[in-house]
Amino acid sequence: MNYFVWASGLAKTSPLGYALVNILTMAVIGMALAVAAELIFKALRIDLGRYKKEYEEPGTEAGK
């Protein structure tokens, strides 16, 4: 919570610093959560697969 109190102080004293802190905080948390989710899926041996083409090439009936 001290971190957020410090950051809120920046909002008044250094708006540019506050903006950079916000972006960095979100980026770090986002990446950490993304990697954590990936590790959880790997640990549970869940294979989520890859993109499968599900459309017909243009020129076929469904592609028109």
Partner 1 sequence: MIHLPVSGIDMAWWPLVLIGFTVGVVGGYFGIGAAWLITPGLNIFGFPMIYAVGTDMTHVVGKSIVATFRHWRFGHVSAVIALIMLIGTFSGVEAGAQVVRYLTAKGLAGTVVRSVYMVILAFLFFYMLYDYLRARRIEIATGKKVGDIVGTGISKWLHEATAFLPPIVRCRNTGMLMSAWFIVFIALITGFIAGFLGIGGGLVRVPAMVYLLGLPTKVAVGTDLFEVMFSGAYGCFTYSVKGGVELVAAVIMILGAAVGAQFGTICTKYVHGIFIRLLFSITCLFAFVATLLKQLSRPYERVYETGIQKVLEQAGFTKAQFSGLMLKQDVMQYYMVEVAKRPDWYEAWKTAMVYTKVGSAFILTAASFICLVILVQLVRGVVAERRAKLALEARAGATR
Instruction: State the residues that interact with partner 1 by CB under 8 A.
Output: 4-5, 7-8, 11-12, 15-16, 18-23, 25-27, 29-31, 33-35, 37-38, 48-51, 53-56, 58, 61-63
Residue 54 beta carbon to partner 1: minimum distance, rounded to whole angstroms: 3
Dihedral sign for Cα 41, 43, 46, 48, please.
positive
Q: Minimal CA–CA distance to 49: which of 39, 59, 41?
A: 41
Q: How far is the CB of 14 from partner 1 (least distance, A)?
A: 10
Residue 48 parent element (H or E): none
- Name the minimum Å distance from CB 39 to partner 1: 12
